[in-house]
Structure 1
Amino acid sequence: MKFKLNHMEKNWILYDVGNSAFTLLVSTIMPIYFNYLASQAGISEVNYLAYWGYATSAATIIVALLGPVIGTASDTKGRRKKLFLIALLVGSIGCVFLGFSQSWIWFLLLFVIAKSAYSLSLVVYDSMLPDITSEDRADEVSAQGYAWGYIGSCIPFLLSLVLVLFYEKIGISMKTAMGIAFLLVALWWLMLSIPLMKNYQQTHYQTSNTKNNLKASFQRLGGIFSELKRNKKILFFLIAFFFYIDGVYTIIDMATAYGTALGLDSTGLLLALLVTQIVAFPAALTFGKLAGKVNPSRLITVCISAYFLIALYGIILKEQYQFWLLAIAVGIFQGAIQSLSRSYFVKIIPANKSGEYFGIYDICGKGAAFAGTMVVSMISQVTGSVNLGVGALSIMFLIGIFFFRKADKTPLA
């Protein structure tokens, strides 16, 4: 029987299409523009990669600190939509200002703000899933969110790519082209958020008996950590997720910076990453359908194993065609591991505490990616080899698969 999305599921998926444009901008055009600003300031390629990694780490540390508090606060009746809107506006406005920055230092500062807000919006967005769909539909809806996000984000990306690659023929400067590209992405992000903002209703929530909502949020957050001690299945999964998704997000965030530091052609890198998005669309949909026939745990294990091999492949990557092969491999497994992890987590947590738990989930996800970027940055600087920096991520996938197997064998408390 053909899977058919309902109205609210479509609205929820549209936000994935909107915010994915920012993700694609961060992993493709944004590092190239930063490289342009940094090279004008006389910064070497190895240090350029390191500074980009440190900025990414700073953003994820902020999310690690604020994510659980925002997530917990969003579980209070009537708060989820408001918090989502604040994060959305800060992120999209920050994106606009990024395009008009002419200093590499200011660019990194604005990047940290915009990326932090983007990630915090996803804490709230992910926690909406139990309100949007039923548990038996979660795998498919989550997969379709990532799939349509990948293919839909190609529209503003292609328009931005034309501006960035052909700005001289169009008769504008590179800085003007970048400013328009960043503005285009911000508008795309905002416009596709409107249906969700207009129609979303919070059906799973907790009531607060105190006027001090911040204090109540911290109290509930403390309760979640106590629950994790009792529920080993969730705890083991979060530890596993911390390591394997850290590696995944590091590869996503630093792919273009990695290729640029290797001296690969910028146009080729951007087109290769466009191929990643195109490949990820059918791959995510396929894995979503497979989850209804094959144990999702087995599919997650396959994805982690594939990423382990991808990280090892990064050690020998030197040529443009090798980067293309890497881009295709990442495209096959990127959407699958993200969507299956999200829906797996939804199934093992209480629906009325989804915000609290997804706050922790994002510590172990986007909020924890500082570890991977720091590893790549430090090893690249110490050894002088960006290949070894990327190859070191394979250790994270090994640890991730070990704890995921433990989680899968442990019953819910």
Structure 2
Amino acid sequence: MADPTTPAPVPHAPTPGSSTRRERTGWYFYDWAMSAFSTTVITVFLGPFLTSVTKQAAGCSIDVTECAGYVYPLGIQVAPGSYFPYLVSLSVALTVLALPVTGAIADRTMHKKRLLAVTAFLGAAATIAMVFVTGDRYLLGGGLFILANIAFGASVVVYNSFLPGLGGPDDRDGISSKGWALGYLGGGLLLAVNLVVVQSFSVEGDPQRTLDLARWSIVSAGVWWAVFTLVPLAWLRERPAADAHPGGNVLTDGFRQLGRTVRGLKRYPLTLFFLLAFLVYNDGIQTVIALASQYGTEELRLDQSTLIVTILLVQFLAFGGALALGAVAKRIGAWKTVLASLVLWTGVILAAFRLPAEAPAQFMALGAAIGLVLGGSQALSRSLFSQMIPEGKEGEYYGFYEISDKGTSWLGPLAFGIVFQLTNSYRVGLVSLLIFFVIGFLLLAAVPVRRAIIAAGNTPPRVL
């Protein structure tokens, strides 16, 4: 009979930094699942779709370029063309509030996979519910988008918080790059299918049919997101963080822990310095992505088919680019590789400035260059940050990381808009974005990365 004074055995927790190939593959597949929302919904279909629905609510035909009517959500007069940008701004503001709390909860819970399931399925369900956004139901569409976008950001925080447990300091760059690459591949495949369907089944002179095809494309992204989320939920292991407690209320404990973390951020100034650098250069990257189509249509006078082919080119080449830069990082380190990628981004901006109008082949070549550098710079930034997070704070710190990713995405477009208004030139507006890459490079170069990793209590990788 067992000695009653012997403590009960503690359930085995996976060793930090150790994982099986099956578990890592499961983690990669969440990038494959969620990227459909980024590409099919956010990048291509949702903006034009909701704008058309809002036009109908304002009493205009969906095939008119300008609508003289207005809608009045919450009694506020809004032009149909402004409705979606306002929704994006509102969802970003709410996401900024939600992400650190989600991270704090992820660090406290014993069931991180359940939190991933809740956030992912909530976002996927809201996306699938877009099937009911017909006629003039612009308010329903706006509410579902806000819910889906917040849930998407929250799920990314939980997903990223698994990364430090999947590999040691020398392995994370490769793991992060493979996840990012698979995400671009998955998002690109679904987008390609949806674009083929829309191009094949649209009828000239029937804008309602095109609108319906766009709605079902959005719904397909929600289904894709939900179905492929089952893979990480099946293959990932629960990895309770060092600060997890089986007792107590995880929600209220999460809020309290978030308060303690905010007060304790000053203990890790070098980690915050990295976040500042990431905030600056990532804003430049996000602005280039957001404004590329506008630049192509308004300044370079390119047709829609050229833009569609270029979008797909970027998606699929970003798959190879993420893997290639991951391989480079293995040889020279993530820090140096991200710095090199920012030099390449500067070259992309200068090339775009000199690009002649009505030159689709050259525009596609520029898109190929963006694809090659895009995935790697983002994936390696994520893995580099994972080295600077104190153990047990992964969720919270990735919450702040996602704020740096999403919460300041208005800075670049604002700079672009102000310069365009002063000069009436899209080319000069684009060149104004150089400041984000130059300052971001200088800030990142000034971060003492090895010292930052040691200050967070972690072991630096062999090469940085």
Aligning the two structures, in what range does the TM-score lie when normalised by the shorter sequence?
0.7 to 0.9
Quick check: 150-159 or 275-284, which moved more? 150-159
Deviation of the 1:63 alpha carbon: 1.9
Instruction: Tell me the amino acid that sits aligned with residue 216 of structure 1.
Output: D
- Give the secondary structure class of the aligned counterpart of 1:18: helix
Quick check: 196-205 or 60-69, which moved more? 196-205
Contact map agreement 1:143 1:339 (CA 8 A) in 2: yes
Contact map agreement 1:165 1:267 (CA 8 A) in 2: no
Question: 1:266 aligned to 282, 304, 316, which one?
Answer: 304
Match of 1:11 in 2: 26
1:271-290 paired onto structure 2 within 5 Å: 271-290=309-328
Question: 2:106 aligned to 74, 96, 111, which one?
Answer: 74
The root-mean-square deviation of aligned C-alpha atoms, in Å, is 3.0
Question: 1:57 aligned to 86, 89, 109, which one?
Answer: 89
Deviation of the 1:5 alpha carbon: 7.2
Match of 1:29 in 2: 45
Question: 2:66 aligned to 18, 25, 43, which one?
Answer: 43
Match of 1:154 in 2: 188
Question: 2:128 aligned to 75, 89, 96, which one?
Answer: 96
CA distance in 2, matches of 1:168, 1:278: 25
- Give the secondary structure class of the aligned counterpart of 2:366: helix
Q: 1:266 to 1:98 in 2, by over 3 A?
A: farther
1:198 aligns with 2:234: yes
1:177 aligns with 2:213: yes
Q: Deviations over 1:254-277 (max 9, x none)?
A: 433543455531221111110111
Contact map agreement 2:129 2:144 (CA 8 A) in 1: yes
Question: 1:245 aligned to 282, 285, 305, which one?
Answer: 282
Unaligned runs of 5+ in 1: none
Contact map agreement 1:27 1:254 (CA 8 A) in 2: no
1:307 aligns with 2:345: yes
CA distance in 1, matches of 2:81, 2:416: 9
Question: 2:367 aligned to 289, 302, 327, which one?
Answer: 327
Deviation of the 1:9 alpha carbon: 0.5
Q: 1:27 to 1:237 in 2, by over 3 A?
A: same
Contact map agreement 1:242 1:368 (CA 8 A) in 2: yes
Contact map agreement 1:50 1:378 (CA 8 A) in 2: no
CA distance in 2, matches of 1:254, 1:92: 26
Q: 1:123 to 1:370 in 2, by over 3 A?
A: farther
Match of 1:256 in 2: 293
Deviation of the 1:48 alpha carbon: 8.5
Deviation of the 1:208 alpha carbon: 4.4
Match of 1:230 in 2: 267
CA radius of gyration, larger in: 2
Match of 2:390 in 1: 350
Deviation of the 1:160 alpha carbon: 0.3
Q: Deviations over 1:76-98 (max 9, x none)?
A: 13252233223212322232344
Quick check: 153-162 or 235-244, which moved more? 153-162
Deviation of the 1:376 alpha carbon: 3.8
Q: 1:216 to 1:257 in 2, by over 3 A?
A: farther
TM-score, normalised to structure 1's length?
0.87
Q: 1:305 to 1:76 in 2, by over 3 A?
A: same
- Give the secondary structure class of the aligned counterpart of 2:109: coil
Instruction: Tell me the amino acid that sits aligned with residue 62 of structure 1.
Output: L
Q: 1:164 to 1:135 in 2, by over 3 A?
A: same
Instruction: Tell me the amino acid that sits aligned with residue 99 of structure 2.
Output: G
Q: 1:135 to 1:295 in 2, by over 3 A?
A: closer
Instruction: Tell me the amino acid that sits aligned with residue 276 of structure 2.
Output: I
Contact map agreement 2:45 2:218 (CA 8 A) in 1: no
Deviation of the 1:51 alpha carbon: 6.0
Question: 2:244 aligned to 207, 217, 223, which one?
Answer: 207
TM-score, normalised to structure 2's length?
0.78
Deviation of the 1:16 alpha carbon: 0.7
Q: Deviations over 1:392-413 (max 9, x none)?
A: 3222222211221121367132
1:358-397 paired onto structure 2 within 5 Å: 358-377=398-417, 379-380=419-420, 384-397=424-437
Deviation of the 1:339 alpha carbon: 0.8
Match of 2:258 in 1: 221
Contact map agreement 1:63 1:116 (CA 8 A) in 2: yes
CA distance in 2, matches of 1:344, 1:377: 32
Q: 1:256 to 1:302 in 2, by over 3 A?
A: same
- Give the secondary structure class of the aligned counterpart of 1:219: helix
Match of 1:341 in 2: 381
Deviation of the 1:36 alpha carbon: 5.4
CA distance in 2, matches of 1:75, 1:289: 31
Q: Deviations over 1:116-167 (max 9, x none)?
A: 3212211111111123333322111110011111122222112101121122
Q: Deviations over 1:57-112 (max 9, x none)?
A: 33322222211111111111325223322321232223234464555954555434
Contact map agreement 1:139 1:291 (CA 8 A) in 2: yes
Deviation of the 1:330 alpha carbon: 1.2
State the identity %.
27
CA distance in 2, matches of 1:177, 1:223: 48
Contact map agreement 1:232 1:407 (CA 8 A) in 2: no
Q: Size of the alignment, in residue pairs?
A: 408
1:295 aligns with 2:333: yes
